[in-house]
Amino acid sequence: MHKTPLSEDIPIPKLIRSKRRSIALEISPDGTFIVRAPHFVGERAIREFISRKRRWIDKIYDHTRERLILFRPKQFIDGERFLYLGNEYTLHVTRDMDGKLLFEGRFILNERYLPKARILFERWYREEAFMFFTLRCKFYAELMGVRYNSINLSGAKHRWGSCHPGGKLRFNWRLVMAPKDIIDYVIVHELAHLIEPNHSSRFWAVVDKVFRDHREARKWLKDNQVRLSF
């Protein structure tokens, strides 16, 4: 019996064509399969590629689905727990406060601002992220003997950091939910690009001198990416 390229319960992949030389298959944190293919490769070749990867697709999809089941979008109700620097803190919703959102060993949200809770939380996370990233970038830049020009925040879904020409660093604000050592890894990674612009063996040697556990950190980000959201 002829099998379809994907199981019936697995979404059809999203196809992205570019100037790349080969076909690649990846899966996003929300469970979407993405096929990246060169412009010159036909649909039949792409389907055959997907078919050959069927076993890998089934395995990865099951793993991703399990993670998605564990992750539930926040409802911003009393007792919910939110990540900050790797630790979980409880949310308390109350009418007895003058401000909108406070953090005092737990999150305290004014009930009147529940319709804007998601916006308030993102604003709080962004402010905390910028301050924390600024301190850690300064520390590691001095340690590594490099200079950067600026730090900015990003809301990208699939990228934790980037280093642009001229020493412009960009970090995902959601990263502030991760443990401190994971944040440090991303910072070291981007600062290392000021020394080695690519991901060559020389680049990883630079990272390894400062952050020896970078392999474990990369694995943690891959396994926990879906948790760093709300």
| Whole-prediction pTM | 0.73
The verdict on residue 8 lying in a domain is no
User: Rounded to an integer, what distance in angstroms lies between the CA atom of residue 154 and that of residue 25?
Assistant: 25
User: Rounded to an integer, what distance in angstroms lies between the CA atom of residue 192 and that of residue 206?
Assistant: 6
Domain shared by 47 and 86, yes or no: no
The verdict on residue 174 lying in a domain is yes
pLDDT of residue 4: 38
**Lowest-confidence region among 38-42, 109-113, 146-150:** 38-42
**Average pLDDT for 60-80:** 75
pLDDT of residue 87: 96
The CATH number covering residue 172 comes to: 3.30.2010.10
Q: Which domain holds residue 32?
A: 14-70
Q: How confident is the model at residue 31 (pLDDT cuts 50, 70, 90)?
A: low
The verdict on residue 76 lying in a domain is no
pLDDT of residue 55: 82
**Average pLDDT for 118-137:** 98
Domain shared by 114 and 127, yes or no: no
Q: How confident is the model at residue 66 (pLDDT cuts 50, 70, 90)?
A: low
Query: What are the φ/ψ torsions at residue 84 (nearest 5 degrees)?
Result: -155, 120
The verdict on residue 9 lying in a domain is no
Q: How far is CA 44 from CA 5, 49, 51, 135, 198, in A?
A: 11, 9, 11, 52, 34
Which residue bears the tokens 């520390």? 139
> What's the mean per-residue pLDDT of the chain?
88
Domain shared by 161 and 207, yes or no: yes
Domain shared by 60 and 126, yes or no: no
The verdict on residue 58 lying in a domain is yes
Domain shared by 223 and 125, yes or no: yes
Domain shared by 111 and 135, yes or no: no
User: Rounded to an integer, what distance in angstroms lies between the CA atom of residue 36 and that of residue 98?
Assistant: 51
Domain shared by 95 and 112, yes or no: yes
The verdict on residue 3 lying in a domain is no
Domain shared by 110 and 130, yes or no: no
Which residue bears the tokens 């959102």? 101
Instruction: Report how many domains make up the chain.
Output: 3
